[in-house]
Amino acid sequence: MEPVAFFSQPLASPEPRSRALGTGSDSRAGPREPERSRSGAEPLLDPTRLIRDPQSGRTYYRGRLLGKGGFARCYEATDTGSGHIYAVKVIPQSRVAKPHQREKILQEIALHRSLHHRHIVHFSHHFEDEGNIYIFLEHCSRKSLAHIWKARHTLLEPEVRYYLRQVIAALCYLHQRGVLHRDLKLGNFFITENMELKLGDFGLAARLEPQDQRKKTICGTPNYLAPEVLLRQGHGPESDVWSLGCVMYTLLCGNPPFETADLKETYRCIKQVRYTLPPYLSSAARHLLATILRPVPQDRPSLEEILQHEFFTKGYTPAQLPPCSCTTVPDLTPPSPAESFFTKVTKSLFGRKKNKSKIAPQEQDNLSRLVSDLVLTSICPLSSTKEPRQAQEEADVAPSLAETAPEEGSPRSLAALGSSSEGSEEYLTAATVMESTLCALRNCLAFMPPARQNPAPLATPEHLLWVSKWVDYSNKYGFGYQLSSRRVAVLFNEGAHMALSSNRKTVHYNPTNTKHFSFPVDAVPQQLQGQLGVLRYFASYMDHNLMKGGDLPSVDETEGPSPLLLQWVKTDQALLLLFSDGTVQVNFYVDHTKLILSGWEPLLITFVARDRRTCTYQAPHLQRLGCSQELRLRLRYVLHLLRQRSGT
């Protein structure tokens, strides 16, 4: 093996990277040296990423880059005081040096901050320093409809109704206030964590002027230009309606109505209103599109008329879309009124009897939102929380050498060489671990009262297992770690997991997390010797180079199951580790604090503070009594991280 020269200050990765059992190859390009844990060299929180409001003194930590747009670079930003996450637009002063450029930005700010509507991106605040202007906006964790469209290409008609109703609500509000958006497109429809649509980007918005006073040109390149705008007759509310029709067409048909390979040809098609309606659309959808995409603006329906069209009135609109619909076709079978969960809950909430209940549509909508909110936030089933299958006990290891030579490296051949066990449904997957921890954490934080201090801690569980050292060498081999029991292990890039027991006498090998082989260390089969070499190397490296990460006492390795690392993720601020026994550990680089979330009924939260003091709490206690800001912020960060990773 090559000698290893570590970075003295490993680089923090700006984007989360993860490795899951069974996933593909290393995502990083080119060889890089491993990053190591807390021998004083964990990646530090980068102080150049702190943004300070010179007036209020508040600071924000600039997180990952969300994208670039216009003059701005956009990032996630966390208020270091409250933990609130924003999407921030950072506009270099150099890009708005000319008075008209600055004027344009200030106008956009003035307009956006005056808008307050459920389906319009919330403008929080803005400030500037010598280098930049910062605009803090509502963070929409599911990005935009453009991302959903990219993954799905076409949406179901009920989904299109769901999104368009929200766009129309926002647009009605704007038009009533005499504001035109002028750049309605999928990328400006942002989607929040709970799948609500928020209209954003008011960079091209303008006040509605009488026909003869309208500006005839538009700066920028709006996406769904109406024919009258191309013909320089000015942009009216009907031109926003046209764009809305183009959005509807794109979502239902998979591509924009006037898309061609050549922009000039596209403009020609728009001016001539030349497009085709695919036959698979419902007749209501075809009819509505045909009325919206009319050449003469005044012939187009108003927003109210659109909502009265049979496409909306006769077709089912779900009250809520499941988050999985961002990437896969959802099952949107309309609930049958007699049997639905909704009916059951409304009946139990309001005591109405079947057939006698008459709920007004608006009330029904509110109720079903309430119910789906409840489902999303509280009634989250802890489905597969079974214990992982018992691994082989160290003492039992009694390999019997095969008499015949089976296929090299196949699980069958390994089974013949060592003691093996196999399971399937009993094993926890990374997704289950994330979901279950997410549920418990979400409930804990959602109902937690404010408090200054943590409640009295419990005794830290005797056999709490946690990672005391780690090395990321995933550009070559994998992720190595040492547990508090002194067991060392590697999660290889290809997904296999190999561990060396704390007494260094037994090797455990898991080609997948449902298969387990164990061997005495001197009887490991030939085909696993390479991986054993890497494991030994990691073990020796951690023994010699790394200090233990915390004050928790080492625990003796028990004869029970030892958890496998299922997945690891590095963000710019923390390392997240998911284990097969349901434990989730998060190491914060900046101050070496750690959170260890273990056991689900109830969830135990162990916090290793800056001063290395370790305290364990039951999540329901924190939920009832509150906790310190130090702990609350970190729990919120873990919640955010798990939400992002689980895609819920």
| Residue 32 vs residues 6, 29, 291, 472, 491: alpha-carbon distances, Å | 9, 9, 58, 10, 18
What single letter denotes the amino acid at residue 347? K
My answer on whether omega of the bond before 602 falls inside 30° of 0, hence cis, is yes
Segment contacting ligand 11G (CB under 6 A): 132-140, 272-280, 300-308, 367-375?
Answer: 132-140
> H or E segment at 138?
strand 132-138
Out of 121, 326, 528, 608, the only residue in the binding site for ligand 11G (CB under 6 A) is 121
For CA atoms 164, 170, 174, 177, the dihedral sign is positive
Out of 42, 157, 201, 557, the only residue in the binding site for ligand 11G (CB under 6 A) is 201
Q: Find the binding residues for ligand 11G in span 409-438 (CB under 6 A).
A: none
Residues 478 and 26: their CA atoms lie apart, in Å, by 9
Residue partners of 424: CB distance under 8 A and separation at least 6: 514
Q: Mask of contacts with ligand 11G, 274-313, x by CB under 6 A? A: ----------------------------------------
Residues 525 and 457: their CA atoms lie apart, in Å, by 47
Segment contacting ligand 11G (CB under 6 A): 139-147, 529-537, 551-559, 601-609?
Answer: 139-147
**Residue 205 contacts ligand 11G per CB under 6 A:** no
Shortest reach from residue 200's CB to ligand 11G, in Å = 4
Shortest reach from residue 143's CB to ligand 11G, in Å = 6
| Strand pairing class (59-69; 50-52) | antiparallel
Is 183 one of the catalytic residues? yes
Residues 503 and 500: their CA atoms lie apart, in Å, by 8
Q: Mask of contacts with ligand 11G, 44-83, x by CB under 6 A? A: ----------------------xx-x----x---------
For CA atoms 85, 87, 90, 91, the dihedral sign is negative
Joined tokens for residue 215:
């500006």
Shortest reach from residue 181's CB to ligand 11G, in Å = 13
Picking from 505, 514, 508, 484, the residue whose alpha carbon sits closest to that of residue 577 is 484
Give the nearer residue to ligand 11G in terms of CB position, either 143 or 309: 143
Out of 190, 473, 479, 607, the only residue in the binding site for ligand 11G (CB under 6 A) is 190
Shortest reach from residue 489's CB to ligand 11G, in Å = 37
Joined tokens for residue 361:
């549509």
Give the nearer residue to ligand 11G in terms of CB position, either 202 or 492: 202
Q: Mask of contacts with ligand 11G, 216-235, x by CB under 6 A? A: --------------------
Residues 463 and 466: their CA atoms lie apart, in Å, by 9
**Residue 375 contacts ligand 11G per CB under 6 A:** no
State which residue has the least CB distance to ligand 11G.
67
Query: Is 134 in contact with 123 (CB distance < 8 Å)?
Result: no
Residue partners of 304: CB distance under 8 A and separation at least 6: 172
Shortest reach from residue 326's CB to ligand 11G, in Å = 14
Residue partners of 292: CB distance under 8 A and separation at least 6: 241, 242, 244, 245, 248, 300, 301, 306
Shortest reach from residue 171's CB to ligand 11G, in Å = 17
DSSP 316-378: ---SS--GGGGTS----PPPPTTT-HHHHHHHHHH-PPTTT----HHHHHHHHHHHHHHHHHT
Give the nearer residue to ligand 11G in terms of CB position, either 9 or 114: 114
Size of the site for ligand 11G (CB under 6 A): 15
Out of 12, 85, 87, 467, the only residue in the binding site for ligand 11G (CB under 6 A) is 87
Give the nearer residue to ligand 11G in terms of CB position, either 192 or 545: 192
**Residue 137 contacts ligand 11G per CB under 6 A:** yes
Give the nearer residue to ligand 11G in terms of CB position, either 200 or 245: 200
Out of 20, 85, 140, 204, the only residue in the binding site for ligand 11G (CB under 6 A) is 140
Query: Is 420 in contact with 628 (CB distance < 8 Å)?
Result: no
**Residue 248 contacts ligand 11G per CB under 6 A:** no
**Residue 200 contacts ligand 11G per CB under 6 A:** yes
**Residue 394 contacts ligand 11G per CB under 6 A:** no
Which long-range CB contacts under 8 A does 357-362 form with residues at least 24 apart? none
What single letter denotes the amino acid at residue 568? W
Give the nearer residue to ligand 11G in terms of CB position, either 88 or 578: 88
**Residue 161 contacts ligand 11G per CB under 6 A:** no
**Residue 139 contacts ligand 11G per CB under 6 A:** yes
Segment contacting ligand 11G (CB under 6 A): 30-38, 135-143, 146-154, 436-444?
Answer: 135-143
Segment contacting ligand 11G (CB under 6 A): 137-145, 202-210, 266-274, 428-436?
Answer: 137-145
What single letter denotes the amino acid at residue 603? L
| Cα 439 off chain centre by | 15
- The catalytic position among 79, 183, 201, 472 is 183
Shortest reach from residue 35's CB to ligand 11G, in Å = 28
Residues annotated catalytic, as ranges: 183
Binding residues for ligand 11G, rule: CB under 6 A, are 66-67, 69, 74, 87, 89, 121, 137-140, 143, 190, 200-201
